[in-house]
Amino acid sequence: MSLANRYSAGEHRFGMVIDIDKCTGCGGCTVACMSENNVGVLYDETDKIRSITWMRVYQVDNGKPFPETQVAFFPRPCLHCEGSHGHHTPCVSVCPATATDYDPQTGIVSQIPTRCIGCRYCVGACPYHARYFNWFDTPWPAGLERPLNPAVAPRMRGVVEKCTFCYHRYQRAKNKAFLGGGKVEEMDYQTACTEACPSGAITFGDLKNPNHKVAQLAQSPECFRLLERLGTNNKVYYRTTREWVRRLADNYLKDEKPGQVAAS
Amino acid sequence: MTTHEQGQAKRSGADWLLFVVGFVLFSALGFWGTPALLYAEKPQPFQFSHKVHMEQVSEGCKSCHSFREDGSFTGIPSTDKCKECHSDSPQGNTPQEKTFVEEYLNKGKPVDWQVYSKQPACVFFSHAAHAENAGLECKKCHGDHGDSEKLRTYQQNRLTGYSRDIWGWSILGMGDPPKRMKMDNCADCHRANGVRDACFVCHK
């Protein structure tokens, strides 16, 4: 199926291609994301079940002993699932408070913390662990409220938050377009993680716009999505040429070959 | 005769009078007492006349409340913006201007205005979308603030810290903008004009 036809009608489908073969696992994207989106540092950041990382880098290896060991990294933002028929984003379908919705225009899954009731159904529904519950109020040390990003509202204890593809940057780009009378160009709207990645592993743009680099890259047979057979029809593509990395991206049977198994 | 009927029979003119007096008393307390308890008055640093300034400038509100090149809105102008016209000695002879020039302009200090229409942190509002793209007049939401001779009283909700303009000056929450700047007011206008009202359009 061609890239644009995978998604329902709508002006844009913002998405990413993350090149795993380029990712060094430095964590620059995670830091840039936390800084951009006012994600604070908790009292105990070693408690990874309760810490918050909208953009999280997962480390995988091929399971072989030295010297054959190989390591790869999966940077994981929110994957902004659309579902197979245009409106079945796993988290959106379970939210009882309509605190999250799927934007038919941009394909971005929103999260409105002020509307969230903290039931955490969405955290359970997300197959990618992309949603985080605020178990604590972030303890901003004195003075650290000053470098907060005014374009992103800080959250309080008891609500869920997640990556929004830096939606405030899209709003900002639209402002510029309104004033100039033009359109939002590819480089006007880039996420913080994309800009921060030192090896250029992340490409961001509109998957529906054939002129955008992301739309060209995502067509490659070397690109795949995480747990594609769940039918989440998400918009974050990963790219690798290594067979073993690709096998880890979904639950393949021994006799199945990745890339030849049809997505549901 | 049941107790209930007895009660009805015994109700006299004095009972009714007491009811009316009580009703009026507590309504009055609710209408005038509640706002006094709920809202704190905060003074503006000094008086400012929009009218005087509007007569001096050529491009209306936009002369001082302008857009930056990147499409963001400057809001209340910085002291530097005032410097484009004001020099280091007062042009008029009002004590307000003297205060401004001496205390702020010459010291390069920003004026700590209380902002009537400041929205909560979770609200994204784009002046570019409304004033430029949709071509709305400033008056539509800000009323005749631009023609006012004096800054009106700024009141702050003691519980939320928000300006009273958000809830509206009517304690029942009635009236059109600028008396009220609640989410419903935004959503009503969006629906009436066929603009999307999804959460992420105005929230952040």
CB nearest A171 (choices: B122, B124, B199): B124
Given a cut of 70, whether residue B7 has pLDDT beyond it is no
Q: What percent of chain A has pLDDT over 70?
A: 98
Residues B111-132 have pLDDT tens digits of 999 999 999 999 999 999 999 9
Q: Is A243 helix (H, G, I), strand (E, B) or coil?
A: helix
Tell me what pLDDT residue B9 has.
Answer: 64
Q: Do B132 and A177 touch (CB under 8 A)?
A: no
- Chain B residue with CA closest to A180: the answer is B71
| Per-residue pLDDT band at A113 (split at 50, 70, 90) | very high
Q: How are beta strands A14-19 and A56-61 bridged, if at all?
A: unpaired
- On chain B, the residues whose CB falls within 8 A of the CB of A178 are 71, 126, 128-129, 132-133
Name the residue with higher pLDDT: A18 or B144. Answer: A18
Residue type at position A36: E
Q: Do A103 and B126 touch (CB under 8 A)?
A: no
DSSP category for residue A60:
E
CB-count exposure of residue B202 (10 Å: 0-12, 13-18, 19+): buried
Choose among A128, A117, A118, A122: nearest CA to A102. A122
Q: What is the DSSP string of chain B?
A: --HHHHHHHH--HHHHHHHHHHHHHHHHIIIIIHHHHHEEEE--SS---HHHHHHH-SSGGGGTS-B-TTS-B--SPPHHHHHTT--SS-SS--HHHHHIIIIIITTTPPP----TTPPPTTB---HIIIIIIS---THHHHGGGGG-SSPPPEEEETTT--BHHHH-SSTT--S-TTS---HHHHHHHHHHTT----HHHHB-
Contact B86, B67 (CB under 8 A): no
| Per-residue pLDDT band at A133 (split at 50, 70, 90) | very high
Residues A36-78 have pLDDT tens digits of 999 999 999 999 889 999 999 999 999 999 999 999 999 999 9
Choose among B160, B155, B153: nearest CA to B122. B160
The rounded Cα B176 to chain-centroid distance in angstroms is 12
| Per-residue pLDDT band at A3 (split at 50, 70, 90) | confident
Q: Is A14 helix (H, G, I), strand (E, B) or coil?
A: strand
CB nearest A175 (choices: B122, B126, B199): B126
CA geometry: angle at A164 spanning A161 and A167, to 5°?
130
- On chain B, the residues whose CB falls within 8 A of the CB of A152 are 204
Which residues, at least 6 apart from B191, have a Cβ–Cβ distance to it below 8 Å? B197
Q: Is A161 helix (H, G, I), strand (E, B) or coil?
A: strand
Given a cut of 60, whether residue B1 has pLDDT beyond it is no
Interatomic CA distance for residues B134 and B129, integer angstroms: 6
- Chain B residue with CA closest to A110: the answer is B200
Given a cut of 50, whether residue B157 has pLDDT beyond it is yes
Helix intervals (H) in chain A = 28-36, 90-94, 121-125, 167-180, 192-196, 213-218, 243-248
Tell me what pLDDT residue B134 has.
Answer: 92
Given a cut of 80, whether residue A256 has pLDDT beyond it is yes
Given a cut of 90, whether residue A29 has pLDDT beyond it is yes
Query: In this predicted structure, which of A102-106, A181-185, B42-46, B174-178 has the lowest mean pLDDT?
Result: B174-178
Name the residue with higher pLDDT: A204 or B30. Answer: A204
Question: Domain segments of chain B: what residues?
Answer: 3-39, 115-202
Q: Is A144 helix (H, G, I), strand (E, B) or coil?
A: coil
DSSP category for residue A141:
P
The rounded Cα B102 to chain-centroid distance in angstroms is 28
- Exposure on the CB side of residue A64, measured as CA atoms within 13 A: 9
Kindly report the pTM of this predicted structure.
0.90
The stretch A142-163 carries a mean pLDDT of 93
Which residues, at least 6 apart from B74, have a Cβ–Cβ distance to it below 8 Å? B65, B66, B67, B68, B81
Given a cut of 50, whether residue B106 has pLDDT beyond it is yes
Distances (CA, A) of A60 to A228, A243, A246: 18, 13, 11
Choose among A161, A206, A154, A160: nearest CA to A54. A161
| Per-residue pLDDT band at A124 (split at 50, 70, 90) | very high
Residues A76-105 have pLDDT tens digits of 999 999 988 777 899 999 999 999 999 999
The stretch A139-144 carries a mean pLDDT of 90
Q: What tokens does A179 get?
A: 């004033």
Chain-wide mean pLDDT for chain A? 93
Asked if A154 is an interface residue toward chain B (Cβ–Cβ < 8 A), one would say yes
Contact A106, A14 (CB under 8 A): yes
Q: What percent of chain A has pLDDT over 90?
A: 81
ipTM: 0.84
The stretch A232-246 carries a mean pLDDT of 94
| Per-residue pLDDT band at A127 (split at 50, 70, 90) | very high
Q: Do A175 and B121 touch (CB under 8 A)?
A: no
- Chain B residue with CA closest to A111: the answer is B200
Helix intervals (H) in A17-166 = 28-36, 90-94, 121-125
Given a cut of 50, whether residue A15 has pLDDT beyond it is yes
CB nearest B204 (choices: A151, A178, A180): A151
Query: Going from the N-terminus, what domains does chain A have, and what CATH number goes with each?
Result: 4-248 (3.30.70.20)
Question: How many CB pairs below 8 Å do chains A and B form together?
Answer: 66
Give the length of chain A.
264
> What is the maximum alpha-carbon separation in chain A?
59
Tell me what pLDDT residue B6 has.
Answer: 57
Give the length of chain B.
204
Tell me what pLDDT residue A259 has.
Answer: 72
Given a cut of 80, whether residue B11 has pLDDT beyond it is no
Interatomic CA distance for residues B22 and A171, integer angstroms: 53
Interatomic CA distance for residues A115 and A127, integer angstroms: 22
- What DSSP element (H or E) covers A160? strand A160-161
A204 DSSP β-pair partners: A16
CB nearest B204 (choices: A168, A178, A180): A168
Q: Is A18 helix (H, G, I), strand (E, B) or coil?
A: strand
Name the residue with higher pLDDT: A104 or A258. Answer: A104
Query: In this predicted structure, which of A91-100, B2-11, B86-95 has the lowest mean pLDDT?
Result: B2-11
Which residues, at least 6 apart from A211, have a Cβ–Cβ distance to it below 8 Å? A186
| Per-residue pLDDT band at B92 (split at 50, 70, 90) | confident
Given a cut of 70, whether residue B4 has pLDDT beyond it is no
Tell me what pLDDT residue A264 has.
Answer: 47
